[in-house]
């Protein structure tokens, strides 16, 4: 294999492009942008197939790194939460502290999300909050006493309603 020399300018422009691309994945919470950039730059340094590394190639490397990081995080969550707590005990705690949790939710949320949860029905909001906290469908079912299919249905309708509410709120802000 022939060694490919890259100019400092080329490396700098690809680095800046990788940072910009990785930032998008960081904003949606898939992976840490710095980790993605580091992986992409290592790929660039190890690339020696003789072809030029362009922005399309860099995008593909950053995207692949982000998807790999997302899959790894999903596996780690599954392992970390598998059997790490007693659902009956957690359900009891959830029911006992439901009003306290609602107060905490009220305090911690930005106004736009407070409005969203105020407009959702209580069962939809409850399922949505538990899902956003990282509970699986089965865990939500165990905590709330719903069937798993009901949890899926409530989350589906809660997401649909949330999209509508958020778009209405955005329209109100633009008007």
Q: Give the HSE-up count for residue 140: Cα atoms under 13 Å, Cβ half-sphere.
A: 24
Percent of the chain residues topping a pLDDT of 90: 9
Tell me, what's the pLDDT at 98? 52
What are the residue ranges spanned by the domains of the chain?
8-81, 87-174
Tell which wins on pLDDT, 14 or 49. 14
Instruction: State pTM to two decimals.
Output: 0.42
Which overall architecture, per CATH, does domain 87-174 show?
Orthogonal Bundle (1.10)
pLDDT in tens, 33-83: 898 999 988 988 888 776 777 888 888 889 888 888 888 877 666 544 444
């Amino acid at each position: 294999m022939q060694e490919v020399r890259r100019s400092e300018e080329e490396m700098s422009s690809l680095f800046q492009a990788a940072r910009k691309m990785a930032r998008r994945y960081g904003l949606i919470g898939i992976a840490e942008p710095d980790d993605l950039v580091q992986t992409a730059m290592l790929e660039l340094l190890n690339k020696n197939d003789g072809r030029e590394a362009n922005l399309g190639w860099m995008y593909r490397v950053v995207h692949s790194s982000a998807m790999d990081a997302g899959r790894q995080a999903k596996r780690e969550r599954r392992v970390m939460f598998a059997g790490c707590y007693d659902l009956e005990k957690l359900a009891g705690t959830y029911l006992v502290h439901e009003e306290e949790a609602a107060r905490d939710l009220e305090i911690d949320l930005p106004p736009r999300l407070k409005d969203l949860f105020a407009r959702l029905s209580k069962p939809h909001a409850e399922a949505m909050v538990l899902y956003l906290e990282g509970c699986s469908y089965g865990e939500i079912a165990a905590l709330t006493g719903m069937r798993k299919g009901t949890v899926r249905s409530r989350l589906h309708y809660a997401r649909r309603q949330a999209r509508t509410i958020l778009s209405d709120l955005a329209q109100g802000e633009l008007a």
